[in-house]
Every structure is written in C-alpha cells, then in structure tokens.
Amino acid sequence: MNRIIIDTDAGVDDAHSILLAFGHKKTKIEAFTTVSGNVHVDKTTANVLKILDVVGQDVPVFKGCSAPLVKPPKYASFVHGEDGLGDCGIPASQRTIEDQHAVHAIINMADAHPGEFSIVAIGPLTNIAVATMLDPSLPSKIKELTIMGGAVTGKGNDNVTAEFNIAFDPEAARIVFDKWPMVRVVDWEITVANGLGKEEIAQMHAIQSPRAEFYRNISAKTIKVIKEYFHMDMIFTADGLAMAAALEPSVIKSKEIKHLTVELRGESTRGMTVVDWVGMGGQKPNAEIITAFDKPRYMEMIKEGLN
C-alpha cells in the first residue's frame, strides 16, 4: 500500500492528479499540505477542501507557506483562473483544516512513521525546503520524494529556460536538490511529450460521474487558454504524470539518474534545472529524471480516477 502526503498548490492539474490518486486502489492519502503557487495558499487550501467534497473523503489538510523564500510570488491565475479551479463556480466547502502548519505536519508525520510515507510534491517546493532546513534528517525518514518540476533541457513554460513550479521558488528547489539524496523528477518536457489530444480529452469527457463532471468544468478554461495562445487542441497533465510515477513506478518506461541543481542568478536562467548529463562535475547523482511513460496505462489510471 502506498502511503502518501500530497504537497500541492491545488490548481486544475493538481486536482486531476488528486482524483487519480483517489482512484488508485493501492494508495492511501495520509495528508494534504498546501502551498502558494498557481494561486495564493488560502485559495489552494480551499481548493483541496472542494476536491474532498467531490470525492467524499476525509483527509487532514494542513495549510503551508504563503510565499516563496526570497522574491515576491508570480501566480498562474492566467491559466488556472483566479480561484485556481477554472473560475467555474465550484462552491466553497464547509470542511475545516488542521491547526498545525504544513511544515510541522510533514516533520511530525515523518517522525511518527519513519520510512513509511512518500511525498508527492506537485507545486513549488517551499514547504519541503523549509521542513528540510528545520529537520535536516527529514530525507532519511521519507520513503520517496517525487516532484513535478523542472525543464531538464531548458525548454521552460515560465520563462525561456525554467518551469513554473521551480521558477516560483528557485531557492526552495535548490535546497531540496542540495539536501535530498534522490528526487524523482517529472519535468515539463516529458509533460509536453505526453500531452493529451482531442481524442483522449473526449474519452475523459465521456465519463459520466461526479468526479468527471468536476474535472470537465474546472479544465474548460485551461483547454481554452492552450488553444488560444499555443494553438493546440490539447491539455497537459503535468501533476497527473508525477502522481502516476509515484504510485505505480511500472508506468515509467525509461529514466536517467543524474546530478541536478537549480540556477539562482542568471538573468535569463533563474530557476533553470541544470542537469550534468555526462558527469563533468563529478557530483553524486541526486535526480531520477523520467524520460518515457507507458501512456496507455497512464490513461487507464486517469479513467480510474474519474470514475
């Protein structure tokens, strides 16, 4: 049984990945920790509660960091809507969150159950970095850390070279890659390579269930933005791919184990994930970079989550 903590900036693709996780029979979601990213943490926290309403499940939710470590936030409401869930009128939840801060919740859960929980981080890495600085032994007490983040060959979606989650808080990402011995990485480029086209979107939209209806509603704005500004009839499910890789590693068809760091200073490269592809730096590999997916199985996992 996978026992996971989902660290999320709950936007549209986060919601998609969370539905996928709830549909996976061999997974138990132990907690949600929220962070600013797609929208402010107050909204991402509210969005997790709305998702729990849709699936009818009770899972502890801990609100986390409200801003990046150094620079002011740059949100992605352009894609996800001002509310983070496509501005489609999803009603507020009556559920409540836990009193404890997400960072302390992560540390305390790891202390109570060392080696039992994996973290799937599908937003900026602020919570994970702060938890790691407060408890440097945290990586040894977490079974696996999987992240959605980076653009390993420099083809970003936030600026020329950087992916949004990393670029939102590069200092946090740098801390995580410096301090964790191994991080599973699902980056933006593998996301684009596994984008879902018109036929696959139609298959998802054909499912008749409350979860599928919820996803149809929240994803409409994102699909429209991609079509209008990128001239593609597609949707990119970055966080879903990261979740699939964490829950069912057999969906990974190829990977590279390399050293990865995060650029903090470059005028055009701040937030870039820099990979030492040939070992020139002589540093120990710290990243499992996913380079190919079993897409048919991934589509099955999506449908299981929407049904």
- Model pLDDT for residues 166-222, shown as the tens digit of each residue: 999 999 999 999 999 999 999 999 999 999 999 999 999 999 999 999 999 999 999
CATH class of 2-306: alpha beta
Instruction: Give mean pLDDT, residues 93-107.
Output: 98
Residues in the chain: 307
Burial of 207 (0-12, 13-18, 19+ CB in 10 A): middle
Report the share of the chain in percent with pLDDT over 70. 100
- Residue 232 has a pLDDT of 86
Amino acid residing at 26: K
- Report which of residues 267 and 184 the model is more confident about: 184
End-to-end CA distance of the chain, in Å? 21
The Cα–Cα gap between 217 and 234 comes to 16
Report the share of the chain in percent with pLDDT over 90. 96
Residue 142 has pLDDT above 90, yes or no: yes
- Residues with active-site annotation: 9, 231
Which residues are paired to 145 by β-bridges?
A: 119
- Residue 229 has a pLDDT of 81
Residue 230 has pLDDT above 90, yes or no: no
Residue 130 has pLDDT above 90, yes or no: yes
Structure tokens at 130: 């702060």
The Cα–Cα gap between 36 and 197 comes to 29
| Among 118, 138, 156, residue whose Cα is nearest residue 270 | 156
* pLDDT tier at 107, thresholds 50, 70, 90: very high
pTM of the entire structure? 0.98
Residue 116 has pLDDT above 90, yes or no: yes
Residue 9 has pLDDT above 90, yes or no: yes
Rounded alpha-carbon distances, angstroms, from residue 130 to 17, 121, 257: 24, 14, 25
Return the domain boundaries, the chain. 2-306
The Cα–Cα gap between 295 and 231 comes to 23
- Residue 252 has a pLDDT of 98
CA atoms 232, 234, 235, 238: torsion sign = negative
Instruction: Give mean pLDDT, residues 129-146.
Output: 98
- Residue 106 has φ and ψ, to the nearest 5°, of -60, -50
**The Cα angle at residue 262 between residues 244 and 21, in degrees rounded to 5:** 15
Burial of 24 (0-12, 13-18, 19+ CB in 10 A): buried
Instruction: Give mean pLDDT, residues 264-282.
Output: 95
Residues 197, 234 contacting (CB under 8 angstroms): yes
- Residue 4 has φ and ψ, to the nearest 5°, of -125, 150
Residue 159 has pLDDT above 90, yes or no: no
* pLDDT tier at 87, thresholds 50, 70, 90: very high
Structure tokens at 64: 């986390």
* pLDDT tier at 42, thresholds 50, 70, 90: very high
